[in-house]
Amino acid sequence: MASMETTKRLLCWCAAALLLAGAVTHAHAQTGGRVYLTDVKGAIGVATERQLARALDQIKGESGAVLIMRLDTPGGLVSSTRDIIQLMIAAPVPVVVYVAPAGARAASAGTFLVYAAHVAAMAPGTNLGAATPISPGGFPGLPGQEPKEKKDGKDAAPASQQAAEKKAINDVVAMLRSLAQLRGRSVDFAEKAVREAATMTAVEAKKENVIDVVAASLDELLAAIDGKKVKVGESERTLATKGAAAKTIEPDWRTRLLAVISDPNIAFILLMIGFYGVILEFWHPGTLAPGVIGAICLILALISLSTLPVHYGALALLLLGIALMVAEVFTPGTVVLGIGGVIAFIVGAIFLFEGGDTDIDISVSLPVVLGAAATTAGLVFGIVGAAIQARKRPASTGAEEMIGARARVIEWQGERGRVRVHGEIWAARAGRALKADDSVRVVGREGLTLIVEA
């Protein structure tokens, strides 16, 4: 009897252990694999590339992990887009690009990221497309440009410019078509998005096989892609995302700082503050504060300029404008140098970021340009000009101020004596004899002796 009782207890314990193991397995199946989320919002640039690289590096050692890039972008730098695509293709984990929330877009460079993703998804009310690259900017109407050709009775771009644009467009088309073939997505829309700037809504993109899923929320997305098979490198993986809790990977402070200073307006303002600070430090050595602030801002500006498509001809024109305004101060009355400097400064600032490595309009806003031009002109013509004029005025303090001052003779013997000037008694000498109470004028100074004359 005791043996049968012991056997029953063992059976009960085994049954309980099996039930517990089943519950744990079921719970694990419900929670799925590890899901990470990173938000990309705004123009695509070097900061975006750093953000994605850091996120992939953080989770590369975790098996079954999935990275979701929640995207909302108008486009960005072509070079950074290519680097990000290379990161996504070589990623050790599946990368899901999710265009969200409602109202977001994946325009220009964003379309390339959607095509490069292992899984592409969009929220209702979003759109993608319009991936035509912007041709490199230039200065319209400058001497040396080729004459425009006529096409259908209208001015057309020069033949060389047309060839360059055609070459750039064909290159971008080939890249997007190759991504479409790699991920099994619509090749036709890839070409239309570049050549015709075609766009699509989320529903249309799903219907035309541009994306894989339309999901209104992150939870709906995770449920929709659960069990989907994707190819990561040379291996095939099955996504286990249903019920998983997404862990957000925030950009570090370096990435955030890089994103801030990569803004064209911020980069331009930093550049101007750097110039102002360095100029003021050279003008008044030893003040330290303008030099330190200017040097820091100038270094930050150089970092930001390295992340933007800088037109070096425009940068030279900007510096020439400042130089001409400074030259006007030293040669007052010409006016031409000052006006030319202001014009050169404004034109250089407007075309500063026209390097051509972008698919969106990256430029300094006109109010910032005009404000900087007015500030620079005021600084040069006002402060620097006033300093130069002050140097030309006679001294009003110190020993040099005594030259030309009137004095009263206190006592005198021969050619030497003592005089009172500005309430102080000084030793003095003159070329002839003087008498007490004579009024004299100071014409020079030798050490502590004043030279006077009647």
Per residue in 292-333, pLDDT tens? 998 999 999 988 888 888 888 888 998 898 888 877 767 766
Q: Which of 14-28, 233-247, 346-360 shows the lowest per-residue confidence on average (mean pLDDT)? A: 14-28
Q: For residue 24, what pLDDT is reported? A: 38
Judged on CB neighbours under 10 Å (0-12, 13-18, 19+), 233 is: exposed
pLDDT (0 to 100) of residue 224: 94
Extract the tokens encoding 351. Answer: 């075309």
For 426, which DSSP code?
E
410, HSE (Cβ side, Cα atoms, 13 Å): 11
How many residues are there in the chain? 454
- Phi, psi (rounded to 5 degrees) for 419: -130, 155
One-letter amino acid for residue 229 of the chain: K
Beta bridge partners of residue 439, listed in sequence order? 408
How much is the average pLDDT of 382-387? 62
Q: What's the mean pLDDT when you consider all of the chain?
A: 81
Query: CA 310, CA 354: separation in Å to the nearest integer?
Result: 6
Tell me the C-alpha distance between 82 and 74, whole Å. 16
Question: Torsion angle of alpha carbons 45, 50, 55, 58, nearest 10°?
Answer: 170
CA distance 95 to 87: 10
Confidence grade of residue 122 (pLDDT, cut at 50, 70, 90): very high
Domain boundaries defined on the chain: 30-156+166-252, 263-391, 399-453
Higher pLDDT, 436 or 400: 436
Whole-model pTM? 0.70
At 136, is the pLDDT very low, low, confident or very high (cuts 50, 70, 90)? very low
Angle CA 351–281–297, to nearest 5? 45
**386 confidence band (pLDDT: 50, 70, 90):** low
Query: pLDDT band at 40, cuts 50/70/90?
Result: very high
Q: Is the pLDDT of residue 196 over 80?
A: yes
- Which pLDDT score is estimated for 221? 94
Predicted confidence (pLDDT) at residue 17 exceeds the cutoff of 70: no
The residue with greater pLDDT, 161 or 256, is 256
How do residues 62-105 score in pLDDT, each as one tens digit? 878 999 999 999 988 888 999 999 999 999 999 999 999 999 99
CB atoms within 10 A of CB 135: 15
**What does the pLDDT read at residue 141?**
36
pLDDT score at 15: 52
Structure tokens at 167: 């070459």
Mean pLDDT of all residues in 42-66: 90
Measured distance CA(275)–CA(140) in Å, rounded: 28
135-149, 151-165, 184-198, 421-435: the lowest-pLDDT one: 135-149
CA–CA gap between residue 150 and residue 130 (Å, rounded): 27
Q: Strand, helix or coil at 179?
A: helix
The predicted pLDDT at position 169 comes to 85
Determine the pLDDT at residue 177.
Answer: 93
- C-alpha 231/C-alpha 240 separation (Å) is 14
- Mind listing the pLDDT tens digit for each residue in 324-349? 887 776 776 666 787 888 889 899 88
- Give me the pLDDT at residue 366, please: 87
Name residue 355's amino acid: G
The whole-angstrom separation of Cα 321 and Cα 347 is 9
pLDDT over 70 percentage in the chain:
79
Residues 24-57, buried b or exposed e (16+ Cβ, 10 A)?
Answer: eeeeeeeebbbbbbbbbeebbbbbbbbbbebbbe
Q: Could you tell me which residue, 259 or 33, shows the higher pLDDT?
A: 259
CATH topology of domain 30-156+166-252: 2-enoyl-CoA Hydratase; Chain A, domain 1 (3.90.226)
Residue range 399-453 in CATH 2.40.50.140: yes
Instruction: Note the Cα 83 to chain centre separation in Å.
Output: 18
Q: Which token pair is 365?
A: 């806003």
**What's residue 2's pLDDT?**
46
